[in-house]
A and B are shown apart, each in its own frame.
Chain A
Amino acid sequence: MNSRSLSYVLAAGALLALTIVAFAVGRYPVSLSEITSLLLGQPVGANVETVVLQVRGPRVLAALIVGAALAAAGTAYQGMFRNPLVSPDILGVSTGAALGAVLGIFLSLGVFFVQIFAFAGGLMAVGMVYFIGSRLRGHDPLLALVLTGVVIGTLLGSAIALLKYLADPYNQLPAITYWLLGSLAAISPRDLAAAAPLALIGLAPMLLLRWRMNLLALPDDEARALGVDTRKLRILVVAAATLMTAAAVAISGIIGWVGLLIPHAARLLVGPDFGRLLPLAMLLGAAFLLAVDTLCRTIATIEVPPGVLTALIGTPFFLWLFALARRSW
């Protein structure tokens, strides 16, 4: 077995082990034998069944889906922007989703509508960035997109700040803060049923176009001279990555770093070929977020927001990568 296949096997093994651990640990510990019996359909205590299937089940699944989706979107963006330090929210999807959610909370809407607002906000922010960025002619198209993303992101950020300032400090502000920190604690099976298909729709073009994705990592002229209509391909990738990220963010809130760190780590393991990179990044993303979320609900008596933990792990890792950075990737 070569080192590449080994990476997949280890990542899949780690994911499986973490999933079992995630079902087992928590305020109500479940033993390994109880989990095995449950999986085999043998009778177990009603408490065990409730904890594993109804309390931890959706949460574990959510960590897997959100982690994999953020990692996949990050992988696509890092290739497309030819930069390994890019995250899925570079075009403003997270900020847009945050504004949508904050607006929903500000208007005292229910959870369901807050999620719809978040999803729509994410799509609208990226749509706006793409619309404006692609009309700034005479610039490198990617640079124009990134800079528009930064500017629009700042604008949306001030709108969020305004809503926080106006929000009711006792009811709404805590909910806003909680959402902005991200959490998988309150995810219901219905959320998963909505987010998973959307994430899969976003994943499909990435899987199908996995070879062409490689050419997006070349300078624009070269990719076009090799026969790729880069403008169309880029729209498709932006749409797919945005759909995946918006679906994830709408149910989990903003969880940073996963989409930046994981694709990069995967690239270190199997190289930049998108077809090999994507599955590994998704496995690692799912495993990473599951590990983080499991830590979040077990290390202290109160829940630690996962965004805080990913940042604690992410910042030193990012700086380390940056210090190691070669001239080219």
Chain B
Amino acid sequence: MLTVESLAFGFPGRTIGRDVSFNLEAGEVMCVLGPNGVGKSTLFRTVLGLLEKHAGNIRLGDAPLEQLSRSEIARRVGYVPQGHAGYFAFTVREFVLMGRTAHLGIFSSPAKRDGMVAERALESLGIAHLGDKPVTEISGGERQLALIARALAQEPKLLVLDEPTASLDFGNQVRVLRRISALAATGISILFSSHDPDHAFLCARRALLLDEGRVLEIGAPRAVIRADTLQRLYGVSVQVMPLPGGAHTCLPSMNR
């Protein structure tokens, strides 16, 4: 679904990452890990065509990204940015309907069918009851779910989520990760970033470790999330503990 080859990315005039290559199959979940400021969001924005790539290739399916229009990209890729409260007071339903824009003619407004797609997206995330509330008056966790619903209303093949669990309480983090797994099971490819390596263990088939703008390791979470790689990424010592049943978890050490 998504192929990235020797990608260099960054802001105009400043490259912050290079030599990034990976591909994502249909229904595959990949988690990007890396310290603050390493360029996870910048990588995602480049993959979405919101920032121009500095070198390399990005392909969505068979099509090179640069040959696709904004609406063609939006019909393939849904973007869930880090949520914030600075919106006008659209209702959650109106907000999710905005996900239909790429499927509409330039002068059209959403039709009944678009309303149904939006409604399904709301229901699949369990927030249909919030439909008439302004997005400015719901909690951060609910807004995160509304953003995911809006991306689902795009009916994308690939979903890019920028720290979808940031600023959520423990329960909402788990709920979002469960949604990610469930969506992947329907065949949607998912690329997300997190600050918690455990999230990669919980729901990703592969993890991409980004260090100083380059790929440190990429592979199955169990293979690449190790004490030495985490030490390298975050500069703290961590034990990766196997759990009964085959799961793993990371336990930071408080001694230097």
Contacts and interface: CB of A to CB of B under 8 A. Distances in A.
A227 B71 contact: yes
Contact of A138 (B12, B89, B101): B12
Contacts, number: 92
Given A215-B98, A226-B99, A227-B71, A208 B107 contact: yes
Contacts of B136: 326-329
B90 A272 contact: yes
Interface string B129-165: 0000010100000000000001000100000000000
A169 interface: no
A211 B79 contact: no
Nearest to B90: A272
B237 interface: no
A212 B106 CA distance: 8
Contact residues on A (Cβ < 8 Å of other chain), bracket = 20 to 34
Given A226-B74, A227-B74, A328-B85, A273 B98 contact: no
B48 interface: yes
A227 B86 contact: no
A43 B203 CA distance: 83
Given A211-B110, A275-B109, A221 B88 contact: no
A39 interface: no
Given A271-B91, A329-B136, A226 B101 contact: yes
Contact residues on B (Cβ < 8 Å of other chain), bracket = 35 or more
Q: Chain A contact residues: over half helix, strand or loop, or mixed?
A: loop
A222 B143 CA distance: 14
A100 interface: no
Contact of B89 (A79, A226, A228, A271): A271
Interface in A218-235: 218-219, 221-222, 224-229
A225 B77 CA distance: 8
A328 B75 contact: no
Contact of B12 (A137, A271, A327, A328): A137
Interface of A: 79, 82, 137-138, 208-212, 214-215, 217-219, 221-222, 224-229, 267, 271-273, 275, 326-329
